[in-house]
Structures are given as C-alpha cells and as structure tokens.
C-alpha cells in the first residue's frame, strides 16, 4: 500500500528531476498499479496546463460545497505550495503530506473532468507539430484518386505517368496508368501540410504549395495550353513553337487569366486570401482581369495584385514571393493574419484568436523544415503567447493565439 506522503515526495522529485534509481522504480510501480495513477502522472507533467487548472480550481472553489475539514486541508496545501518558506505550526505539519496529495488529486481530477466532458482529443494539448512534406493526390478522368508516394517529390506526365525517378505511378491494383490517345483531364491536389511537383506534357514544370489544386490535360492541344489553379504554384513554362508560331500557355486562377509564352512566375490565388498575387521572375506575361476584361503586362520584378476586382501592378522583392518554393517562410510586409494562414496551410492547423488579432509587424525568414514551435519563436519578440491542441482523428490541430486583455495586463 502506497502512503500519500510517499507518492507526493516521489512526484515532487520526479518534477524536479532528482529521483534516484530506487525511487524511480517505486514511482513506476505506483503509476502502473492503476489507470487513474497513469492519467494523474501524465497530467502532472503538463506544467503549463496544470497551473491553468489550478487557477481555475481556485476560482471555482469559493462556489463549491466543501466540508470545513476539506477546506482547511486544501488551504494548507495552497499555503505550503505557494509559500514554501512560510513557518508552519508543528501541530499542523502532520496534515501537510495529505494536504499536498489532496491538492494534486483535486487539480488532476478537475483537469480530467474538464476534458472528458468533451469526450474528444480535440482539447488535448500538445507541445509541437511536425512540418509538412511531399503529399498529394492525383485524380484521373475516370474518377479514380491515387495517393502519391511521399518519398517522391513529383510526377512526370508523358506516355506514362511516372515519378521523377522514372518509377511508375500505380493505382490500388498496382497496374500502370497509361496515357490515352485522347486528352483527359487530370487533377493534382496537395492537402494542408503538403506540396508536390509536376512536369506537364509539354515539359513545363509546376511546383504546388500546400492546399492547392492544379487541373491540366494529359496532353495539350496543338494550338494552346491551358491549366487551372486554385491555391499557389510556381511555374516554369517551356516555350513551344508550331509552324513558326509560339503556342501560348494560359493559367486561369481566381478571377484572372495569365497569358504566357515562356517564362517563370509565381501565382498565389488562394480563395481564402483577399488578394490574388502574380509575381514575374523573368520573361513577360499578361494578366487579364476577368471582371473588367482589362489586361496588364508585367515585367520581371513586378507583381500584379487583384483585389476587389481591381488589378494593380507594383515593384516587389521577388525572394519574398518565392520563399515558399525555396523551403522558407517570409514574414516581410505581411499582416499577422496572412502569416498565420501560411502557417496553417503548412502545419495543417486551424488558427483561433483569444482577444484581438495582433497587429504586430515582423521581418525575416523561417525554415519550413522546422517544427512549429521553432518557427513560432518570432512571436516572442512581441510577447504573444500561444498553445496547440490536437485534432480529432488526424484533423487539423488548433493553434490558439492569446492576445487577450488578461495576457497584456500580465506583461
């Protein structure tokens, strides 16, 4: 039988990392004895959440119906915990181990009850989120959808559909997908937390950012090349000639059409973003506003911005626009909300705000290969706090940005 004072002492040493080998064995035996002990131990290790629940429990205590003896024991535990150097009368010392145990158990029980009320892991706090990677699906004309290999970074659409290393893309029956004589519509789609690369039938290359969809034919017509984009992509368009005439390449995306001959450019056309941005790296393109039917020709280093059916052109830093393709986030000249939307797409998150949305401005870059906590270090400069809760059955994790009045008043 484990005595409360023994367990309290072991827990205190566990938290302070001062357990010796024998004490660690004793604690492990106690943890393994009951599922309740396992849950209690797991929650006690969540330091930040434990403090949060302690504060909540203290706030609720005055409204609870507790016996006078329980109240006295609990008060002693608080006093002992919050003021460890405060002298305690000798006649009360025998209560302290039990008071501390009761304090820990009350807190952990409240913690478990609060989360069990929801009966969902959606409220389970986690410490970090891994970055995205090579993830995409390919939908064929017959409706079949293939999960592409995450160990590959892209596919080539030719006589067959293959990965960049030449291996075949196969369906669930492991039969090779052949290109038909007649052109078929193919759809390459990246999820939240995914990106992929495709070499089109004409040799043009497209890199898809997270949560993006590219619709294109299995082979292009002799007189034109047309693709559709929802999301963000970087294009390297190959110049093609037919009977001494250039075969135009067109990208249709979110209220605009881009006419291309042969060039490199980036298109950010997410439906959830207020602006559609087309940035030219080299060559020349024309951006057609489908609402006004007006065309703007842009030069390398310029960006066409479509906002509320109005198209404007400005000079930009190209490196910022294509940072994602080079494996980075760029924070320069972006609102806090836009930065968080980019984080959400790459780390498969739903972003929520506690209090007002921060208006802080940030500069610099971060690597997309880093874990979320590493990337979010830029928040420290503005003392913006956050926590992450896990999604249900692989659904979006939840990033809570705390800019509440309470948080600001504490600083």
Whole-number pLDDT of residue 381: 82
Q: What is the pLDDT of residues 323-334, one digit of tens each?
A: 999 999 999 989
Highest mean pLDDT among 48-52, 227-231, 354-358, 407-411: 227-231
Q: Which helix (H) or strand (E) holds 288?
A: strand 285-289
Mean pLDDT of the 361-375 span: 92
Mean pLDDT computed over every residue of the chain: 78
On whether the CB atoms of residues 108 and 43 are closer than 8 A, the answer is yes
Decide if pLDDT at 380 tops 90.
Answer: no
Mean pLDDT of the 1-19 span: 66
Q: How far apart are CA 188 and CA 250, in angstroms?
A: 17
Q: What is the pLDDT of residues 160-188, one digit of tens each?
A: 899 999 999 964 333 444 444 467 899 99
Whole-number pLDDT of residue 63: 41
Decide if pLDDT at 81 tops 50.
Answer: no
Domains and CATH numbers, the chain: 4-117 (no CATH), 133-323 (2.60.120.1440), 327-409 (3.55.50.30)
Question: What DSSP line would sit under 88-122, residue for residue?
Answer: --HHHHTTHHHHHHHHHHHHHHHHHHHHHTTTSGG
Query: Distance from CA of residue 359 to its chain's centroid?
Result: 21
Mean pLDDT of the 365-389 span: 90
Q: How far apart are CA 200 and CA 178, in angstroms?
A: 15
Residue 64 banded pLDDT, cuts 50, 70, 90: very low
Whole-number pLDDT of residue 209: 98
82, two tokens? 């919050």
Q: How far apart are CA 101 and CA 83, in angstroms?
A: 17
Whole-number pLDDT of residue 43: 59
On whether the CB atoms of residues 349 and 398 are closer than 8 A, the answer is yes
Residues of the chain with pLDDT > 90, as a percent, come to: 49
On whether the CB atoms of residues 329 and 345 are closer than 8 A, the answer is no
Residue 358 DSSP class: P
335, two tokens? 């609102």
Q: Which helix (H) or strand (E) holds 21?
A: helix 21-33
Q: Is the dihedral of CA 147, 152, 158, 159 positive or negative?
A: negative
Burial class of residue 194 in the structure, from the number of CB atoms within 10 Å of its CB (0-12 exposed, 13-18 middle, 19+ buried) = buried
Report residue 401: phi and psi, to 5°. Answer: -95, 120
């Amino acid at each position: 039988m484990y005595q409360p004072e023994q367990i309290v002492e072991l827990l205190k040493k566990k938290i302070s990392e001062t357990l010796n080998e024998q004490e660690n064995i004793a604690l492990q035996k106690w943890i393994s004895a009951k599922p309740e002990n396992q849950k209690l131990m797991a929650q006690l290790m969540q330091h930040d959440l434990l403090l949060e629940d302690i504060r909540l429990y203290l706030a609720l205590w005055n409204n609870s119906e507790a016996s006078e003896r329980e109240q006295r024991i609990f008060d002693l535990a608080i006093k002992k915990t919050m003021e460890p150097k405060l002298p305690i009368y000798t006649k009360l010392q025998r209560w302290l181990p039990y008071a501390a145990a009761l304090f820990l158990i009350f807190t952990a029980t409240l913690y478990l009850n609060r989360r069990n009320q929801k009966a969902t892991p959606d409220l389970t706090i986690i410490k970090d989120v891994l970055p995205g990677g090579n993830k995409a699906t390919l939908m064929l004309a017959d409706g079949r959808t293939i999960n592409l290999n995450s160990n590959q970074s892209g596919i080539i659409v030719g006589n067959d559909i293959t990965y960049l290393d030449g291996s075949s893309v196969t369906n669930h029956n492991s039969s090779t997908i052949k290109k038909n004589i007649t052109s078929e519509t193919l759809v390459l789609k990246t999820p939240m937390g995914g990106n992929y690369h495709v070499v089109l039938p004409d040799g043009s290359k497209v890199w898809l950012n997270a949560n993006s969809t590219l619709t294109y034919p299995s082979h292009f017509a002799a007189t034109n090349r047309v693709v559709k984009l929802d999301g963000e992509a970087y294009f390297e368009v190959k110049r093609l000639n037919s009977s001494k005439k250039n075969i135009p390449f067109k990208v249709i995306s979110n209220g605009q059409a881009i006419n291309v001959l042969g060039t490199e450019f980036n298109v950010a056309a997410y439906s959830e973003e207020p602006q559609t941005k087309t940035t030219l790296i080299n060559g020349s393109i024309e951006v057609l506003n489908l609402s006004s039917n007006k065309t703007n020709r842009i030069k390398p280093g310029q960006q066409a911005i479509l906002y509320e059916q109005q198209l404007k052109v400005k000079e930009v830093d190209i490196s910022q626009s294509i940072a994602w393709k080079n494996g980075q986030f760029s924070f320069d000249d972006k609102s806090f909300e836009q930065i968080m939307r980019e984080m959400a797409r790459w780390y498969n998150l739903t972003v929520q705000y506690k209090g007002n949305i921060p208006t802080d401005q940030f500069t610099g870059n971060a690597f997309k290969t880093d874990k979320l906590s590493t990337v979010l270090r830029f928040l420290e400069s503005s003392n913006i706090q956050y926590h992450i809760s896990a999604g249900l059955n692989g659904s979006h994790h939840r990033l809570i940005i705390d800019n509440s009045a309470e948080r600001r008043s504490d600083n």
